[in-house]
Amino acid sequence: MGDPTAILVALERAGFRRTAPRRALADLITAQDGHFTAADLVAAAGAERLGVGRATVFRTLEALEQLGLVERIDLPSGEHAYVACERSHHHHVVCSRCGRTSEIDDAGLKAVVHQIARRTGYRVDEHRLELFGLCPACLAEQPGPASVPA
């Protein structure tokens, strides 16, 4: 998923220093191909003997999340995972087999949210939509028997 430098530049622009651990984490994150957990990063950093502590991983992820460079998603299993992504508001489809994700824009959701707000009387400030299924590649590899969507 592109260039680790983008992350560092964005961090720098937000007033964060450009340090060795953050550089290492930027590399690891851009190398990830689907979603990843904080534990994944900690393990990866440990495996490559980068000497990056747990605390730093969490701190960096928190900063990146606030900058919108990374989004936290909640897997069906209850785990918290992260996805590197664009800065605009959007949602994700997560492949439950290979873990890859695709970003999707509004796709008509705004109207749905609006309607719900009107029906329930709530003022909706925030929403989260997460989709899980099989990506095209995994679908091709594994010609599922009954491909009846939910």
Partner DNA sequence: CTGCGGGTTGAGACACAGTCTCGTCACGGG
Partner DNA sequence: CCCGTGACGAGACTGTGTCTCAACCCGCAG
Kindly give, in sequence order, each residue whose CB lies less than 8 Å from that of residue 45, ignoring residues fewer than 6 positions away. Answer: 24, 25, 28, 51, 52, 57
Query: Tokens representing 78?
Result: 């209850």
The entry of DNA, a copy of itself, none near residue 96 (CB within 5 to 8 angstroms by kind) is: a copy of itself
8's CB contacts (< 8 A; 6+ apart) are 18, 22, 23, 26
**59 binds DNA per the rule CB under 7 A:** yes
Residue 59 or 117 with smaller CB distance to DNA:
59
State how far Cα 84 lies from the chain centre: 5
Q: Which two tokens stand for residue 10?
A: 């964005």
Interaction of residue 56 with DNA, rule CB under 7 A: yes
107 binds a copy of itself (CB under 8 A): yes
Task: Kindly state the smallest distance separating residue 57's Cβ from DNA, in Å.
Answer: 7
Please report whether residue 95 would count as binding a copy of itself according to CB under 8 A: yes
- Contact residues toward DNA (CB under 7 A) are 12, 15-22, 37-39, 51-56, 58-60, 62, 78, 80
